[in-house]
Chain A
Amino acid sequence: MSAVVLYSIITLGAISAISAVVLFIVARKFKVYEDPRIDEVAEILPGANCGGCGYPGCRGLAEALVKASENGDISGLFCPAGGNDTMANVGKYLGLEVAASDPKIAVVRCGGTKSKAPQKVAFDGPSKCAVANTITSGENGCPFGCLGLGDCVAACDFGAIYIDKETGLPVVDEEKCVSCGACVKACPRGIIEIRPKGRKDRRVSVFCMNREKGAVAMKNCKAACIGCGKCASACPEKVQAITVTNFLAYIDPKKCIACGKCVQECPTGAIKASFEIIKKEAPKSAPAETNV
């Protein structure tokens, strides 16, 4: 009996001793030097692995940051989830200056609420926008509008976007959105855009993606941009932030000063502001519609 125990101990002991030597040699021979700063930077980053920076996960960005810091310039890299605070901390650790960038937010550019764009047909296929987009133009008939099946909701790691049951459109939670852009990639119709949050959260956007002629677009949605160009002429001469191409207006957020003149001019209400506009005659439309 004791002999069995003894043999076992000797054999196992011998195997482990040999393995230890082999492992020691291998570990020495194939050792990869890794900059310890990468771990430190990764520690500073939020660890959400959202991919908003364009790298696969926070560690990917940390590696890129450390590599870029050797050239003394990390200006092209930014963590949208952490924002300016995180980037300042990273800069402090790496001993570099980081210019603060404007906070951004996802904007769902569709105003086709259930009341403005009533349902014409029923779609009973799978609830996935990407699938629905290949087989239907949407329940309200607009081939450019939101399908309302929530691919953006499923893509969001931060719970910052949800479908409003009343309007049928996605709503972005300003507090939670980190502008990582996952929803932008998920939307098969390219409705969502990452736009600057604006000074004091004041921003104006066109809530429509319809590039059809005005009359055609209006058939499906009363809130469609008809490309009339009134907004472009209302825009102050020094600003000129609005361009109209293919019957669709676009407001350049870099130029826009959020004066709100275009909001008042828009005949269909396709342009909306995130702040209240005091009109000369009447107060602005119902707050339920301003999900900027």
Chain B
Amino acid sequence: MKLRRFSKGGVHPPENKLSATSSVKVFPVPEKVTIQLAQHIGAPAKPVVAKGDKVKVGTLLGEPAGFISAAVHSSVSGTVTAIEETANHMGKKVPSITIKVEGDEWEESIDRSDDIKKDCELCASEIVDIMKNLGIVGMGGATFPAHVKYMFPPDKKADALIINGVECEPYLTSDHRLMLEKPIQILVGVSIMMKAAKVERAFVGIEANKPDAIELLEKESKSFTGIEIVPLKVQYPQGAEKQLIKAILDREVPSGKLPLDVGCVVNNVATAFAVYEAVQKRKPLFERIITVTGSKVKTPCNYIARVGTPVADIIKAAEGDIETSGKIIAGGPMMGHAVSNTGFFMTKGSSGVILMSEDEAKRSEPQNCIRCAKCVSVCPMGLQPYLLEKLSEKDRFEDAEKEFVTDCIECGSCSFTCPSARPLLDYIRYGKANVMRIMRERRAKQ
């Protein structure tokens, strides 16, 4: 059978899935955690605890402050010692709550048993409420508050749920391990999300470099109705929602539109697992799987760690050598951010941390553009990266807007493929951010 993939562009970087065979280990609860209130896209959560308050595992720390915002819960039990601003992995200051850990006492409402609960009697709006109250966000990387995706405008309807088990980023294996270790929970989560989205069909897209996960989920999915496992040809960036919809359903999301406009809702497998835990076990989202990998890590592995754990601790536990690393990346190597300081903390979106040696990480000196148009042929959105780069560099934002710079998904395929090593994406990101700002200002004026 010919495997499906998205039709336009894409690259295939070396996979380097060093930690694929290492099963998920539980990372011990640290002595102190710092839980940031802006772990998601949208408005930071509003703190509801004060300094000196006692909290348990799962206690609400911050409530959503706006339509696009998510609740934040405590990942440990202990005393709140500080509410102040700390730097996130990008060096940006965000409000956060520091908790000194005392014991490991959980909220009574959370079901801590290991039994798998398959039946769910709740209706769609109740499920969405639970997602909202227990702080579920998209865990593929963008951390978009999950409940918002299921609150459809009255004139729109979905007919398919798409679950992203692609993990197209090199190095990362957190979703792969999750699919191998919690397949039934994921599938229950998917059926709950189908109910929330009021759809009959769900597709779980998995790339062919994870045959074990495909086989296991195919076997388990036989006992669920409406869930189909779709093996996909390996191609980056297949995990981007528009590309995944194209690959699985052959539908194209028009420029400036959302997946819902073509009748789809897209979520990650890790989100499906988080939904399962929230709906069936009443467990808020306060821990996730993080991959620690790269050539400077002695034992590349996957940890399940509490949100707020210092990432430096996790790197140390995996015997990563911070001092001699050439580059430390939070997230995947293609879309993640190189960090300038390892003093940042686990968030709901921390899918991995990669320690690269200096040789691997060093960017070559940029040369002049040779007009080979390789960036154009690999752009999965059909844009012209060389042109967008030049327009952004010269601050010609109006022209960049006309060239659809806002459609860029920042996958980095252009920079990856450029034979002249031009910093295409760096400039495009700069241009895109400015165009977005100009568009916001224009909208505010009207």
Q: State the A residues within 8 Å of B (CB).
A: 120-121, 124-126, 128, 130-131, 134-139, 141, 143
Partner of A120 from B93, B340, B362, B423 at Cβ < 8 Å: B340
B359-388 vs A, CB cutoff 8 Å, 1 = contact: the mask equals 000110010000000000000000000000
Given A126-B427, A131-B426: A141 and B341 interface contact (C-beta under 8 Å): yes
A and B contact pairs by CB, cutoff 8 A, 5 listed: A126-B426, A126-B427, A134-B429, A136-B340, A138-B340
* Distance (whole angstroms) from the CB of B74 to the closest CB of chain A: 25
Given A125-B426, A126-B427: A135 and B93 interface contact (C-beta under 8 Å): no
| B91–A137 touching, CB < 8 Å | yes
User: Cα distance A125–B362 when bound, in Å?
Assistant: 10
User: Cα distance A141–B366 when bound, in Å?
Assistant: 24
Point out the residues of chain A lying under 8 angstroms from B228, CB to CB.
none
User: Cα distance A136–B92 when bound, in Å?
Assistant: 9
| A126–B423 touching, CB < 8 Å | yes
B109-129 vs A, CB cutoff 8 Å, 1 = contact: the mask equals 000000000000000000000
Q: State the B residues within 8 Å of A (CB).
A: 87, 90-93, 337-338, 340-341, 362-363, 366, 393, 423, 426-427, 429-430, 433
User: Cα distance A139–B338 when bound, in Å?
Assistant: 12
User: Cα distance A135–B89 when bound, in Å?
Assistant: 11
Partner of A135 from B87, B393, B426 at Cβ < 8 Å: B426
Point out the residues of chain B lying under 8 angstroms from A137, CB to CB.
87, 91, 340-341
Closest to A131 in B: B430
A sample of 7 more A-B contacts (CB under 8 A), given A137-B340, A143-B87, A143-B92, is A120-B341, A125-B423, A126-B366, A128-B430, A135-B426, A135-B429, A141-B340
The main secondary structure of chain A at its interface with chain B is loop
Point out the residues of chain A lying under 8 angstroms from B363, CB to CB.
124-125
Point out the residues of chain B lying under 8 angstroms from A126, CB to CB.
366, 393, 423, 426-427
Point out the residues of chain A lying under 8 angstroms from B393, CB to CB.
126, 128
User: Cα distance A141–B91 when bound, in Å?
Assistant: 8
Given A120-B340, A121-B340: A136 and B91 interface contact (C-beta under 8 Å): yes
Point out the residues of chain A lying under 8 angstroms from B427, CB to CB.
126, 128, 131
| A143–B341 touching, CB < 8 Å | no
In the complex, how many residue pairs between chain A and chain B have their CB atoms under 8 Å apart? 46
| A124–B362 touching, CB < 8 Å | yes
| B433–A134 touching, CB < 8 Å | yes
Point out the residues of chain A lying under 8 angstroms from B341, CB to CB.
120-121, 137, 141
Point out the residues of chain B lying under 8 angstroms from A134, CB to CB.
429-430, 433
Point out the residues of chain A lying under 8 angstroms from B340, CB to CB.
120-121, 136-139, 141
| A130–B91 touching, CB < 8 Å | no
Point out the residues of chain B lying under 8 angstroms from A125, CB to CB.
363, 423, 426
Point out the residues of chain A lying under 8 angstroms from B362, CB to CB.
124
Point out the residues of chain B lying under 8 angstroms from A121, CB to CB.
340-341
Closest to A125 in B: B426
* Distance (whole angstroms) from the CB of A212 to the closest CB of chain B: 8
Point out the residues of chain B lying under 8 angstroms from A136, CB to CB.
91, 338, 340
Q: Which 7 A-B pairs have the closest CB atoms?
A: A137-B91, A121-B340, A126-B423, A131-B430, A124-B363, A125-B426, A126-B426
* Distance (whole angstroms) from the CB of B415 to the closest CB of chain A: 10
Point out the residues of chain B lying under 8 angstroms from A131, CB to CB.
423, 426-427, 429-430
| B430–A143 touching, CB < 8 Å | no
Point out the residues of chain A lying under 8 angstroms from B92, CB to CB.
143
* Distance (whole angstroms) from the CB of A121 to the closest CB of chain B: 4
* Distance (whole angstroms) from the CB of A106 to the closest CB of chain B: 20
Closest to A120 in B: B340
Closest to B358 in A: A122
Point out the residues of chain A lying under 8 angstroms from B90, CB to CB.
135
Closest to B91 in A: A137
User: Cα distance A143–B393 when bound, in Å?
Assistant: 23
User: Cα distance A186–B92 when bound, in Å?
Assistant: 21
Closest to B434 in A: A130
